[in-house]
Structure 1
């Protein structure tokens, strides 16, 4: 009996404890779970601008003279004069004497040919007189028809030919005498000189090279796809050339004058040629003022020279577009851009990319001026989702803090 009690009492105590624990537990309220708070992601937005835009096509090139002339001796002789300006880098005016070949022999030839001409003309006059005498004598002979030989016509023709030959000889002698004077064919910059004082030159000897300073040219390579953005494929288009002068960016104006009309076989580019008027205006005018006292009172120009050989960047004025927008290119996905509507919801607008330039794109389409373009990258964008526009431009940071707070709750 005692053994049964010893076994029964512990079991009763355990049963009472379990019942008490179950009763107390049933009285406690179950924990309430908090619904996650919906957080509208914070985004940066910028207003879209829709306005007319004139396109520009970028290119580059090297400035070269339009006219480059190699001076060549046309007569033989010794160089007896060289102009001080006839040196590499010197500026010369049109018609200025650069060098002179010894003219002594050519002056003698002019005198000799002039004397031969005078002798031929005298012989012609004598023959004409003799012909008149012969005609008079034939008139005194009745019933006879004079022949050409009897009237001395062949002799007259021969003397006339000798006069013509003598005149040609005089012309040639004077021309050769003039060719002893080497003059500048136009306002020019001396590229190089290949003779010295006392040098003997013969016909065909190269004396030097000149570069015309009235007009310079730049060959501008244009990709075929870019030609559509130029008026009449760039004909007569205005060009802005930029290069460094004395360490400072400087701008010159140029005009497209022609297309070379072919596609380069290597680069597959079309070349347009731009002209720059008076590229050395400032330097050349200063040279004239120093060399000509009569020009001292003339106002000079402050335009810096656009030196031959300068590498320039070019902006060619293109066509004008009526109503377009310029936005960062990375914001366009599958031809759509993200917009925040008046209800603070994400909307996508379909756009047409007219042109890509660098990191931007020129677009047209279903976009209105003032539309708010979303510039923040969304992790899981869903059209129609609520968004919050940032005020201070710290959308990414604040959005991360908000998401972190929502997760901790």
Structure 2
């Protein structure tokens, strides 16, 4: 019995193996091989712009602190008691030109003027007296000289008669004494006449001294009144009513509100690129001052208040201060803003006043058009171009400078070439692509080159 069971199991196993081999041969005989089809390559579509020379506005910017263009430090030139003070003479108030701000006691200077005028009048009267005396002396001298001529003539006649014995010696002596006395009278008058010149010189000097004292007294009197020389904003006020002030004492400070100045710190690299655009057409060959070489009126200046968007003023460059800022090694460009208080509407539009921190942007048109591209189109010193077969080409370029989001190219690309402004990801030389010209971006680029931020 066991032998039959074993044979039966063996037959079942062999039958299973045979069936498996039959299936294997069937699948091998009917197997199918994969077919190779044609796969179309994917051509990317990339945005391009046409490189072109653009009218360009060069810019340079920096920050600075606003200061009044002129500050009046009211210092007492004379001593006296404060007898009048404007009721609004307090820090922060605005007062118009011609306002009497403060007055000192003028009595001592009015007395000095009266004393000087009296002294001059006395000297002038004495001068008139000398002129009268000189006139009288001249007439007396003329008479005495006539009498002397007669005496000399008579003396000559008597000498002739005395020689012939017609007159006595006593008569001759008498006539000689008379002639000598007349000569003495003439000499005395001539000496008096010569002294008149010295007396006039002395009186002229005294009158000039009196006039100078009078002028000084009048100036001192003017210095007792402090009148606003322009529309001003008051700073610190130190004088008080009925206070006695001494010469040299500070009374108050006031800022001219007609103009403000900003000394902006501008990077030298930006300024050296900007200023040649404002070069005068025919500068003097021996000019030393930069204002004789650079036409500052060709440089536009815009001042904006830091931290207050939309608040700005137009200005003009007046000069470049001497030396560099010791901390930042930047140039010190001075910009003037006229009428900074005009159109003010605090707090929405504040006033440009002392110590405000502002941003300054200078601009000047480049003398020649420049080739500018979006800065994002530059990839580590290379740009991607599209050739005539719509294939990608890589090319090295030299960037002259960057201004905001623009890069100005000095070499490496020519006007008319198509520049890829997208990031193609894997940029393979010669890869095919489908260019799409973005004319709106080109128009935006032209506006940006002219300084339009929109």
User: Normalised by the size of structure 1, how large is the TM-score?
Assistant: 0.76
The two structures, once aligned, show a CA RMSD in angstroms of 3.6
Q: Distance in 2 between matches of 1:282 and 1:390?
A: 48
Select which of 31, 34, 38 maps to 1:32. 34
Instruction: Give 1:23 deviation, angstroms.
Output: 6.6
Instruction: Pick closer, same or farther for the CA change 1:278–1:32 going to 2, 3 Å.
Output: same
Structure with bigger strand share is 1
| Unpaired runs of at least 5, structure 2 | 1-6, 149-182, 280-293, 438-454
Select which of 375, 381, 401 maps to 1:335. 381
Instruction: Give 1:20 deviation, angstroms.
Output: 7.4
Q: Distance in 2 between matches of 1:345 and 1:49?
A: 17
The answer to whether the aligner puts 1:68 opposite 2:114 as a matched pair is no
The answer to whether the aligner puts 1:262 opposite 2:265 as a matched pair is no
Q: Is the 8 A contact 1:241 1:254 kept in 2?
A: yes
SS at match of 1:309: coil
Q: Distance in 1 between matches of 2:344 and 2:370?
A: 45
Q: Distance in 2 between matches of 1:323 and 1:127?
A: 87
Q: Is the 8 A contact 2:51 2:419 kept in 1?
A: no
* Cα deviations by residue, 1:172-225 (Å, 9 ceiling, x for unpaired): 222211111112233322122111111110100101112112221111222221
* Cα deviations by residue, 1:268-298 (Å, 9 ceiling, x for unpaired): 11111111112123469xxxxxxxxxxxxxx
Q: Distance in 2 between matches of 1:265 and 1:93?
A: 39
SS at match of 1:280: coil
SS at match of 2:92: coil
Aligned to 2:372: 325
Q: How many residues align?
A: 362
Aligned to 1:207: 251
Instruction: Pick closer, same or farther for the CA change 1:335–1:36 going to 2, 3 Å.
Output: farther
Q: Distance in 2 between matches of 1:261 and 1:75?
A: 36
Q: Equivalences for 1:91-240 in 2 at 5 Å?
A: 91-139=94-142, 140-141=144-145, 142=148, 146-147=190-191, 151-226=195-270, 227-230=272-275, 231=277, 232=279, 235-236=296-297, 237-240=299-302
Q: Is the 8 A contact 2:383 2:419 kept in 1?
A: no
Q: Distance in 2 between matches of 1:182 and 1:38?
A: 92
Q: Is the 8 A contact 1:77 1:202 kept in 2?
A: yes
Q: Is the 8 A contact 2:370 2:408 kept in 1?
A: no
User: Normalised by the size of structure 2, how large is the TM-score?
Assistant: 0.69
Aligned to 1:298: none
Q: Is the 8 A contact 2:232 2:254 kept in 1?
A: yes
Aligned to 1:77: 80
* Cα deviations by residue, 1:97-125 (Å, 9 ceiling, x for unpaired): 21000112221222222122211211221
Instruction: Give 1:42 deviation, angstroms.
Output: 3.7
